[in-house]
Structure 1
């Protein structure tokens, strides 16, 4: 069986690339296809595989400015030749599912999120974009949305990284999705006996993560906050202008520093709405509680009063109230209980869940007439119902 793994772009090692690593472990002989590829910024696990990039790779500056090439991405994805592959696993967020699968192949899409900048975050992205992008987005977005919805029909089985994302797949694509939580290297983190007097915000500094709420809240309270993460200069500069003396910015810190800060903080503060949110799981694997905005993936990873606390409104006042409520019962949080909770988000759990989905899809295709797992009735393709049961 020839296996192809399709990822939107390979230019860094973040949550999506960790999924690719785990899929590479499942299929050591798989070939990888992507829009643009920077081998110097990905892991050895990925580099061991044959990686084919699209024609975007040949555009000067594409690796550094790939996101500005969004209008060309549909053409680039459809130019990738996947003929001869029996199993195609696309890693969707950027996009990736829009490849043209051969008729006999099973196409399984692991969806981190329907493209945010086309759907639920469209207006936020447009408002923060440059003048040219703000002018072009209303023209291009409708066409790209149509392409995005149409290409969802090229997928045989959707897998979502959370129930939150599964609901959005249902909303935008009208397709069910099996939930398999993404792989988190929980074994790389451990509790510390030395807890220091600071709270932590960690992750890429982009507007939708709402790190500004934490900076403003901790400045107002006069409590210590450490911010780890990189982003656009203007976003970081804006946060620094509003920050008081108790807020420290460490920038893009090495993993050893991140690991230490996660293990020694009083709690991780997570004020944004994420599709899943890997950093909160890493904090809990370090035995530390999470104070998160109660929406998105946090509702599936943070257990109130056991592994952390949730606040209901995305506002400075709501966050301050949550911080004081946490401190009133801070001693009740047990690091061993918090860490044990993260076992369900391990790499092993992800691999087992994905293998179950893939085996089920391949079995279905072998069992049904015409060899491709689909029944054609009156011009419509009929399939067995897809499971919406989480595999974790």
Structure 2
């Protein structure tokens, strides 16, 4: 069977590209078709295979610029055609790549991840203007799929409402490399800080969280993409910002924390799951998706963002973090293992 892989872009590492690399490691001869590709932006095996993209690759500078040019995506995707000699396209979509053209006889398996564009806080006026048009185009393009995988039950319900009844929609959990985040004996660490996910926070709210932690005699250190918090870095100092680091640095950082807190409501909660994997407790928003993902020890749900509630949850985790059974905490992330995802993919491809 001749297989192609498609995705929204090859501009920077994200959950979609981790899955693309997984699929590519299984089907080594598979070519990649994507809307935008900047050679050299993503290091690793993904650049060692043939990648075909649209004219937007010559126009777009980075991911932010890509979404600012989102109104051009439908026409660009329409002019990128996957040849008819491919039997199956495995499409890893963050909302757009299902619009890449395929032949009538080619089967399409789409894994629909959360729309990356929804996570952008600041949008240009034309992005807001074309937003409804782009989402409607994206929904209609899903009907070109023969099977759609989604990462959670909430997305499943939504997709089933917008695609043909003849298309099967199935929940398949994303993955992360659990073996890269092992249990590390707690006597190595002081556990004197909370790791706080920077994504989804503005400077004002981040400063409030920083000060709330300080009131309890513990530091707050922000982790993940944090360029949007640069003004706060000048105020609080660079040591309070861990940033985006490689796995070799991230795992011990999370293991050294007293706990992890994220205020995100959308997207795959990879940092929270990685924290559980190293045996540390997490605080996440009380959402339907999080209730599906997190079912076990070491998880606290935050129903709202009132200061008193955040302070209460900080204190609760701080008082109980030493009493956790770290093996039970880690056990709940096993459903997100790469091996489980790979097995599901192999069985599904074989069924086509």
Among 129, 134, 143, which residue is 1:153 paired with? 143
- Structure 1 residues 256-293: Cα deviation after superposition (integer angstroms, max 9, x where no partner): 32221111111111221133211111111111111111
State the shift of 1:340 in Å. Answer: 2.4
- In the other structure, the counterpart of 2:153 is 163
Shift of 1:222: 4.5
- CA–CA separation in structure 1 for the residues paired with 2:179 and 2:279: 12
How far has the Cα of 1:238 moved from its partner? 5.0
Query: Contact 2:152 / 2:292 at 8 angstroms: preserved in 1?
Result: yes
State the alpha-carbon separation in 1 of the partners of residues 264 and 208 from structure 2.
Answer: 9
Runs of at least 5 residues in structure 2 that lack an aligned partner in the other structure: none
Q: Which residue of 2 aligns with 1:278?
A: 270
The CA deviation at 1:71 is: 0.7
Give RMSD over aligned pairs.
Answer: 2.8
Question: What is the CA-CA distance between 1:245 and the residue it aligns to?
Answer: 8.1
Rounded to whole Å, the distance in 2 between the matches of 1:211 and 1:116 is: 22
Alignment CA distance shift 1:280-1:138 (3 Å): closer
Question: Residue 62 of structure 1: CA displacement?
Answer: 5.9
Deviation at 1:160, TM superposition (A): 0.6
CA spacing shift, 1:323–1:18, aligned 2, 3 Å: same
Give the match's secondary structure for 1:61: coil
Instruction: Return the TM-score normalized by structure 1.
Output: 0.79
Aligned pair in 2 of structure 1 residues 60, 336: CA closer, same or farther (>3 Å)? closer
Q: How does 1:128-207 map to 2 (within 5 A)?
A: 128-129=122-123, 133-134=124-125, 136-173=126-163, 177-193=169-185, 194-195=188-189, 196-202=191-197, 204=199
Matches within 5 A, 1:284-363: 284-304=276-296, 306-360=297-351, 362=352
- Describe the shift of the 1:155–1:82 C-alpha distance in structure 2 as closer, same or farther (beyond 3 A): same
CA distance, structure 2, for counterparts of residue 269 and residue 50 of structure 1: 40
CA contact (8 A) 2:68 2:127 kept: no
CA distance in 2, matches of 1:212, 1:355: 46
Does the 8 Å CA contact 2:280/2:321 hold for their aligned counterparts? no
2:230 to 237, 242, 255: 237
| 1:28-43 equivalence runs, <5 A | 28-43=28-43
Q: 1: CA distance between counterparts of 2:208 and 2:172?
A: 31
Q: How big is the shift at 1:253?
A: 3.3
Structure 1 residue matching 2:37: 3-state secondary structure? coil
Q: 2:220 aligns with which of 221, 225, 234?
A: 225
**Structure 1: 5+ residue runs without aligned partners?**
363-392
Alignment correspondent of 1:50: 50
